[in-house]
Amino acid sequence: MPRRPDLESICLIGSGPIVIGQACEFDYAGSQALKVLRAEGYRTIVVNSNPATIMTDPGFADRTYLEPLDVEGLAGVLERERPDALLPTLGGQTALNLARRLAQDGVLADLGVELVGAGFDAICRAEDRGLFRRTMESVGLRVPESRVVTSLAEAPDDLAFPVILRPAFTLGGHGGGTATTPAELERLLERGLAESPVGQVLVEESLVGWDEFELEVMRDARDNVVVVCSIENLDPMGVHTGDSVTVAPQMTLPDEAFQELRDAAARVIRAVGVETGGSNIQFARERETGELRVIEMNPRVSRSSALASKATGYPIAKVAAKLAVGYTLDEIPNDLTRTTPASFEPTLDYVVVKFPRFAFEKFPGADETLGTQMKSVGEAMGIGRTFTEAFLKAMRSRELEGGAEAPWAGLDDLPEGVHPWFRVELKRARELVRSTRAASDLVADDWLRLKRAGWADADLAAAWETSEEAVRAARRSWGVRPAYRRVDSCAAEVAAESNYLYSTWGEEDEGRPARGRPRVVILGSGPNRIGQGIEFDYCCVHAAQTFGALGFETVMVNCNPETVSTDYDTSDRLYFEPLRAEEVGEICDRESPVGVVAQFGGQTPLKLARAVEAAGHRILGTPSEAVDLAEDRERFAGLCGRLGVAVPPWGVAEDAAGAVAVAEEVGYPVLVRPSYVLGGRRMRVCYRPEDVAAAAEGAGHVLVDRFLEGAVELDVDALCDGEETWVAAVMEHVEEAGVHSGDSSCALPPVGVGPEVVAECEEVVRSLAPALGVVGLVNVQLALHGGRLYVLEANPRASRTVPFASKALGVNLVEAACRLIAGSRLADLEVPRGQTPGHVSVKASVFPFARFPGADAVLGPEMRSTGEVMATAADFPSAFARAERAAGRPLPAGGTAFLSVRDADKPAAVELGRRLDALGFSLCATGGTAAALAGAGLAVARIRKVTEAGDGATVVDLIRRKRVELVVNTPDGRGARSDGYLIREAALLARVPCVTTLAGAAAAVEAIARATRGETLSLQERVARPA
């Protein structure tokens, strides 16, 4: 069928900020879909609150709205734009839930907007557990048996043991467990009912230990169904698939068992009634009996479909978008082969393994046990011609920081329940290395055997206790180099000029790059982690686009399957490879680029820059020397001294005693951290010598800085051509110094500091950037303390704020940077210098605390946010209120405000209380804070702390019962299980806005007082309507 002629405009919903379980895969899906829909001639409208997405770039849709993804935000856009259709299947669960609510509330019907992709009924059938069960049973399939229990008397006796208990509405399944006997069931049920704030426990048939499989299925309007990819989890049932190591295609099922899954998958998608598009269907299968359960189905594109797209080369989101507008699978050509249709199911002649990337080190105290709640923050994929080759590539692509704990740490320590086939293969690989002693013993065939099993030079160096370089040299002396293979979706059955490559060993190389245009290699940012996420992928994608437009051939290297950068459409050639010295070096040797672009992928490429240079390749733009200069504290402080730029007093120490000595010298409070950190890892603010000693203990080389308490932090993104500097954006943090810049909200332009401070910031950056040798982007963090401006750090690379700043300013900073890197001068660039936007943009962060019960939900020097949102309005309060809404923390208009602050904050809390009182809030507080407020003449109810004896409800009870609309709680540093901790945990659970800094609270109150609803405007309109 041809495309639907009755539709003219289509609105697509994005997935909002990056959170655990919803990452850049939906930017990949959304941007693919937008490309397709525009090419089909539709007018496209996109709504997403996440500025770091490619899909929200102004060129990707006709109208781009950075609006909160709530009913109000969407309804506002739909009213303005009146699209014919809404496509909700490409923006994750967020978009699906939102579409469901818009349909339920009658918004879609009122505005005459049709849901395409998945209709309301299909969404309900997939999302409602009871309805899903009945739907599955109607086609002869089973779901895990379960009962909802609200009292001990209701303990089910008809479920086979073991059973799993899941108390409702507890964080991370807290209070749950597995019962194997009736007595155990009773005991756990009693506990679970008590733990659940609603007194409800789900008792479910346990499938722990069953094998888990996923199928990616597509269906078109003619009811054709194809299976794009099968995925097998190495971690069996019980571990969320997002936290599992997975392999594609499935490895252990014989044909008859696999076809049974395939048949079941087709029945599921038809029964649920997904009219067109992709679905992910998860199955549990008992290894011996073959018994099958349908675990869940997502009537939409998912994280697994991004993985499946990258694993097969089959662009699921692109095809789903075409199906949604009426095409059928036989009409859509396969991108890679061009001659076969989308109904040709991919067949793989390689193996793909995905590893999750965890960040437990960021959440001390959190339960690290893997379960049914996803906890990983990112993923890496490896492609190889054998299972172990793919497995080891993915494993090393994780880029674990030294000492970070993670499941699947090594081959000697495999989790329980892994299918024996995988164990045997991995054991074989391990024994191959064990059978060797030293590089000098090996001949070419031995090298090939090791490399074909998947071992990296670095692994062998570790096994033989030598250097990676020595291993590499020995290997190359035998002429053993990698070969590159194409991902073509058809196992070479059809000639495909695919530009999507991976390395292997001992095979023919295909598609050696032909001589032609000058080439650049762009190094990506690897798996998402806290502190390095989608923002850097955004920058890499723009780098590829810009260098392409400048006439270069672009080569992308990355290993993150979620991203837009690993879409083969993004660059001229894509190498899906680990971002490590060995692989990057081999790619550079093969490509002979004019240079390597390392400043857009965060710290990952910067760490590789030296190795790239040592291998004889050139780093384009800012040289790696500048990185050393900025990161070596001694050299950097020296440079600042010469330039007359102030830095906070500091010193270095080798041990705890030395750290205390430095602290005494620079003056308290101090900031103690290991000398090399990403995202503020292990940073501590210390007020006393014993704290310093504790923070420095065992950390090795530590930096001790004077901590500028209460300072206002400023973030600057600037462009430099080596001589001249353009300060593009000066952003002011909402939270005071001490909160990591990635976690702090920020405003552009600054709203709290005057133009003279902004001018001074610009001055400092203008002297610093060329002195560092920056060619391209630089980010400088400054602090205003006691009327004086200090430089905290400089990063000679694109920063996390670049996408936000680009969108707030309406200037593509990455594009400008790439032009400078390619040799242009600033003077040649058409950038709107000296112009401030006529509106205020606010960036706010979102946090995964709800996933990590046990970890304290406070802001501090260690970055813990996973993502961010952006909102723009005429003034700061309105933008801030909107940003908080977009971050899922809408500010209350009135009600009860609870305050509990540490002693040092009491005077400020009084001020805060006064303003809240004036706004009509009733106040309540615990002991000390209540006394302070009452002392100032404010009416305040005194509430009992949890740890205080007495009658009546505690503060936690009140929060749980939703008697409180706003919580302001500044931490007293006592940490786990303290009153403060319990308050914050309760607020998190009850979804009550909880502010943990005074500056944040002040901004919130300001926003409550002065925010106006304002106008809903698209990015395109803002650009067209300058100040």
Partner 1 sequence: MSGFLVLEDGSVFRGRSSGALGVAHGEAVFTTAMTGYQEIVTDPSYAEQLVAFTAPMVGNYGVSPQRSESARPQARAVLMRRATGEDWPRWLQAQGIVALEEVDTRALVVRLRERGAMRAAAVAGAASVEEVLAAVRAQASMAGRALVAGVSTPEPYRVGRGPTPVAILDYGCKRSIVERLAASGVEATVWPHDIDAGTLLASRPAGVLLSNGPGDPAALPAHVEVVRELLGRVPLLGICLGHQLLALAAGLETFKLPFGHRGANHPVLELATSRVLVTSQNHGFAVRGDGPEVTHVSLYDGTVEGLALPDRRARSLQFHPEAGPGPHDAWPEIEAWVEEIRYAQAA
Check binding of 252 to partner 1 (CB under 8 A): yes
Check binding of 418 to partner 1 (CB under 8 A): no
Phi and psi at residue 941, to the nearest 5°: -90, 130
Sheet holding 146-149, edge to edge: 146-149, 201-205, 163-167, 177-179
98/13 Cα distance (integer angstroms): 9
Check binding of 226 to partner 1 (CB under 8 A): yes
Check binding of 494 to partner 1 (CB under 8 A): yes
885/867 Cα distance (integer angstroms): 14
Of 14, 12, 17, 13, the C-alpha closest to 888 is 17
Interacting residue with partner 1 among 153, 183, 424, 1027 (CB under 8 A)? 424
> Could you tell me which stretch among 79-87, 335-343, 540-548, 813-821 binds partner 1 (CB under 8 A)?
335-343
Nearer to partner 1, 290 or 975 (CB): 290
On whether the CB atoms of residues 246 and 306 are closer than 8 A, the answer is: no
Interacting residue with partner 1 among 387, 408, 876, 981 (CB under 8 A)? 387
Nearer to partner 1, 101 or 449 (CB): 449
Nearer to partner 1, 419 or 963 (CB): 419
Of 933, 947, 934, the C-alpha closest to 983 is 947
Check binding of 412 to partner 1 (CB under 8 A): no
The kind and range of the H/E element at 429 are helix 420-434
Check binding of 492 to partner 1 (CB under 8 A): yes
Check binding of 345 to partner 1 (CB under 8 A): yes
Check binding of 503 to partner 1 (CB under 8 A): no
CA of residue 529 relative to chain centroid, distance: 6
DSSP secondary structure letter of residue 464: H
Residues 445-474 binding partner 1 (CB under 8 A) are 452
CA of residue 60 relative to chain centroid, distance: 21
Interacting residue with partner 1 among 97, 343, 922, 1020 (CB under 8 A)? 343
Shortest spacing between CB 253 and partner 1, in angstroms: 7
Phi and psi at residue 704, to the nearest 5°: -120, 115
Shortest spacing between CB 286 and partner 1, in angstroms: 15
Radius of gyration of the chain from Cα atoms? 28
Check binding of 786 to partner 1 (CB under 8 A): no
Check binding of 382 to partner 1 (CB under 8 A): no
Check binding of 904 to partner 1 (CB under 8 A): no
Check binding of 497 to partner 1 (CB under 8 A): no
Prior bond of 162 cis (ω within 30°): yes
Binding mask 614-643 for partner 1 (x = CB under 8 A): ------------------------------
> Could you tell me which stretch among 488-496, 685-693, 798-806, 978-986 binds partner 1 (CB under 8 A)?
488-496
Check binding of 348 to partner 1 (CB under 8 A): yes
Interacting residue with partner 1 among 251, 400, 751, 753 (CB under 8 A)? 251
Check binding of 481 to partner 1 (CB under 8 A): no
Output the six-digit token pair for 66.
């950075």
On whether the CB atoms of residues 866 and 530 are closer than 8 A, the answer is: yes
Nearer to partner 1, 225 or 925 (CB): 225
Check binding of 263 to partner 1 (CB under 8 A): yes
233/692 Cα distance (integer angstroms): 44
Which residues on neighbouring strands pair with residue 681, listed in sequence order?
Answer: none
Q: Is the sign of the CA dihedral 654, 655, 657, 659 positive or negative?
A: positive
Nearer to partner 1, 485 or 580 (CB): 485
Check binding of 329 to partner 1 (CB under 8 A): yes
> Could you tell me which stretch among 251-259, 614-622, 658-666, 775-783 binds partner 1 (CB under 8 A)?
251-259
DSSP letters spanning 220-248: -TT--EEEEEEEEESS-TTS-GGGS-EEE
Scanning 520-576, the segments in alpha helix (DSSP H) are 534-549
Check binding of 328 to partner 1 (CB under 8 A): yes
Nearer to partner 1, 323 or 1002 (CB): 323
Interacting residue with partner 1 among 121, 184, 425, 911 (CB under 8 A)? 425
Check binding of 443 to partner 1 (CB under 8 A): no
Binding mask 112-151 for partner 1 (x = CB under 8 A): ----------------------------------------
Of 351, 423, 422, 417, the C-alpha closest to 384 is 351
Neighbour tally for 419: CB within 10 Å: 16
Interacting residue with partner 1 among 137, 223, 405, 497 (CB under 8 A)? 223
Burial class (CB within 10 angstroms; exposed 0-12, middle 13-18, buried 19+) of 130? exposed
Shortest spacing between CB 317 and partner 1, in angstroms: 20
Output the six-digit token pair for 638.
């020296």
On whether the CB atoms of residues 798 and 599 are closer than 8 A, the answer is: yes
Query: Which of helix, strand or coil describes residue 898?
Result: strand
* Residue 157 CB partners (closer than 8 Å, separation 6+): 182
Shortest spacing between CB 256 and partner 1, in angstroms: 7
Residues 203-222 binding partner 1 (CB under 8 A) are 222
Residues 504-533 binding partner 1 (CB under 8 A) are 506-508, 510
Check binding of 354 to partner 1 (CB under 8 A): no
Q: CA dist 15 to 27, 87, 96, 317, Å?
A: 8, 12, 9, 14
Q: CA dist 232 to 171, 640, 885, Å?
A: 28, 54, 38
Nearer to partner 1, 492 or 1023 (CB): 492
With CB under 8 A, what is the number of residues at the site for partner 1?
48
Residues in contact with partner 1 by CB under 8 A are: 222-224, 226-227, 249, 251-256, 258-259, 262-263, 328-330, 340-341, 343-351, 385-387, 421, 424-425, 452, 485, 490-495, 506-508, 510
